[in-house]
C-alpha cells in the first residue's frame, strides 16, 4: 500500500508545446520574457496564464508514481515560469478519504485530483466535488475519455497478466483468461502461495478491475475460483506483485497495471508480460479540477498540459500509455482492447449492496480455496 508522503515541491510551469504546436502570442513574465500559449488555443487563454501566474501554485493529489511526473513537470517549467507544483503520491483509498474530508471541513485540499480508481473519481464528480472546464484539448481526446467536461481520462493503460519465465515455460504461457484458468488448475499444488492479485476489499483499483472482468464475461467466476484455490497473495498495489514475480517468489500475478509491468520487464529479464488476447481491460487515470480549488487557473494549465501533445508525449516516453491516438505509442488491437469508459456506468460498482454482495462472494471463494486440499 502506498504510504502517505510529504508533498513533493517542484518549481513548475506549463508545457513546452510539441514541435507541431508553434507558439502563438504570449503573456509577459515578471522577468519580461513572453510566456507562450499553445497554437490553436483561444486568445482568452492569455488571461488564464496570467491568473495562474498570480496564483503561483497548483496542488495535485494522484497515485501515479512521482518518477512518472518529474519529466512532465520539467517540461512544464521550461515554458511557463512562475507556477509551483505541490504533488502528493497517495493510494487511491487514502486519496479519496483525504480529499473528501478536507473539502467537507473547508480545509486546504487538492486543486486537481488524478486517480486510477475510475469509479471513485466518477462518484466524486457525480457528488459535486468537481468543476466544469472545457479544455482546449478536448477535441483531440477519444469520446470515451471525457465526462460532463469535468472528468478527463489522461491515460489508456492495459491490465495484464505477468509471469516468471523460469517458473512458467513458453508452452504454458497463459495467452488468454481461459489459458490462465487451465494452467492454475493443472499446476495448483505447485502454485500454492505463488499467485498474486489485487485484494478488492482493500484496493479500489483491484475492485474496479475484477468487477469489470465480471461484467465482461460470466467465465470470470470460474477463473477466480481457480485463483482462490491457489491461496493467493493479496496486494494493494502493483509494485509488490511485480517484484515478487520478478524475483521468483511468485509465479504469476493477475490484473496488474500493464504499463508498469512492461517498464519493470526492461530491467528484469525473468518477468514476462501478457495482454490476454480474448480481451484486455484498458483503464484510464481520471483527472478533475476541484470545485473548491484555490488555484483554479493553475489547475487548468496543468490539466491542459497533461492532455496536450507535449504532455501526452512525455507520458508515452515513460510507463504511462497516453489516451490520445495522435501520439506515437504502443497500442493494443481494437478487437482486443476493452476500454472502460469514463462515465456514470461506473457508479454501479460503488452501490453499497452491490459491493457487499460482490465481496461476500469473493470471500466465499477464498475460504473455499483455503479449505481445499
- Digits of tens for pLDDT over the chain (373 positions)? 343 333 444 433 333 333 333 445 555 555 445 567 888 999 999 999 999 999 999 999 998 877 778 888 888 777 778 888 998 988 888 899 999 999 999 999 999 999 998 999 999 999 999 999 999 999 999 999 999 999 999 999 999 999 999 999 999 999 999 999 999 999 999 999 999 999 999 888 899 999 999 999 999 999 999 999 999 999 988 889 999 999 999 999 999 999 889 989 999 999 999 999 999 999 999 999 999 999 999 999 999 999 999 999 988 887 789 999 999 888 899 899 999 999 999 998 888 999 999 999 999 988 887 777 6
Residue with cell 482568452: 44
For residue 197, what is the enclosing H or E element? strand 195-198
Predicted pLDDT at 34: 58
Nearest to 118 by CA among 148, 89, 149, 145: 145
Rounded CA-CA distance 178/357 in Å is 25
Residues forming beta bridges with residue 257, ordered by sequence position: 159
Q: Around Cβ 212, how many Cβ atoms within 10 Å? A: 21
Q: Which three cell numbers stand for residue 369?
A: 480455496
pLDDT of res. 250: 98
DSSP secondary structure, 283-297, as one string: E--EEEEBTT-SSHH
- The pLDDT assigned to 80 comes to 74
Supply the pLDDT for residue 6.
36
The pLDDT of residue 59 is 95
Location of each CATH 3.40.190.10 domain in the chain: 8-156+285-333, 157-282+347-371
**364 CB neighbour count, 10 Å cutoff:** 12
157-282+347-371 topology per CATH: D-Maltodextrin-Binding Protein; domain 2 (3.40.190)
8-156+285-333 CATH? 3.40.190.10
**Cα(284)–Cα(257) distance, rounded to whole angstroms?**
11
Distances (CA, A) of 204 to 68, 168, 303: 21, 29, 23
Find out whether 97 and 10 touch, Cβ atoms under 8 Å: no
Give the single-character DSSP code of 78.
Answer: T
DSSP state of 277: S
First-to-last CA distance in the chain?
31
Give the pLDDT score at 22.
41
Amino acid at each position: 500500500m502506498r504510504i502517505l508522503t510529504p508533498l513533493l515541491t517542484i518549481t513548475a510551469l506549463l508545457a513546452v508545446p510539441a514541435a507541431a504546436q508553434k507558439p502563438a502570442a504570449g503573456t509577459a513574465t515578471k522577468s519580461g520574457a513572453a510566456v507562450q500559449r499553445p497554437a490553436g488555443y483561444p486568445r482568452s487563454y492569455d488571461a488564464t496564464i496570467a491568473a495562474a501566474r498570480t496564483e503561483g501554485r497548483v496542488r495535485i493529489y494522484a497515485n501515479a508514481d512521482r518518477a512518472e511526473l518529474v519529466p512532465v513537470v520539467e517540461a512544464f517549467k521550461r515554458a511557463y515560469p512562475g507556477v509551483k507544483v505541490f504533488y502528493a503520491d497517495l493510494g487511491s483509498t487514502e486519496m479519496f478519504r483525504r480529499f473528501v474530508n478536507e473539502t467537507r471541513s473547508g480545509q486546504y485540499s487538492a486543486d486537481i485530483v488524478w486517480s486510477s480508481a475510475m469509479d471513485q473519481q466518477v462518484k466524486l464528480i457525480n457528488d459535486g466535488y468537481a468543476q466544469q472546464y472545457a479544455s482546449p484539448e478536448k477535441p483531440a481526446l477519444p469520446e470515451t475519455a471525457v465526462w460532463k467536461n469535468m472528468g478527463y481520462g489522461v491515460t489508456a493503460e492495459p491490465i495484464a497478466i505477468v509471469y516468471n519465465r523460469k517458473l512458467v515455460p513458453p508452452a504454458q504461457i497463459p495467452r488468454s483468461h481461459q489459458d490462465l484458468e487451465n494452467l492454475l488448475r493443472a499446476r495448483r499444488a505447485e502454485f500454492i502461495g505463488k499467485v498474486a492479485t489485487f485484494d478488492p476489499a482493500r484496493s479500489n483499483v483491484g475492485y474496479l478491475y475484477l468487477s469489470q472482468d465480471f461484467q465482461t464475461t460470466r467465465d470470470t467466476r470460474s477463473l477466480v475460483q481457480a485463483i482462490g484455490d491457489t491461496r493467493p497473495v493479496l496486494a494493494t498495489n502493483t509494485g509488490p506483485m511485480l517484484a515478487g514475480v520478478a524475483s521468483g517468489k511468485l509465479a504469476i500475478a493477475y490484473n496488474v497495471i500493464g504499463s508498469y509491468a512492461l517498464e519493470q520487464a526492461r530491467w528484469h529479464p525473468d518477468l514476462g508480460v501478457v495482454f490476454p488476447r480474448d480481451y484486455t481491460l484498458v483503464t484510464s487515470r481520471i483527472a478533475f479540477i476541484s470545485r473548491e480549488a484555490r488555484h483554479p487557473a493553475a489547475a487548468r494549465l496543468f490539466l491542459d498540459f497533461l492532455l496536450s501533445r507535449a504532455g501526452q508525449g512525455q507520458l508515452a516516453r515513460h510507463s504511462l500509455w497516453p489516451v490520445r491516438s495522435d501520439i506515437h505509442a504502443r497500442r493494443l488491437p481494437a478487437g482486443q482492447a476493452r476500454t472502460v469508459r469514463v462515465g456514470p456506468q461506473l457508479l454501479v460498482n460503488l452501490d453499497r449492496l452491490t459491493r457487499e454482495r460482490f465481496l461476500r462472494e469473493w470471500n466465499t471463494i477464498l475460504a473455499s480455496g483455503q479449505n481445499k486440499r
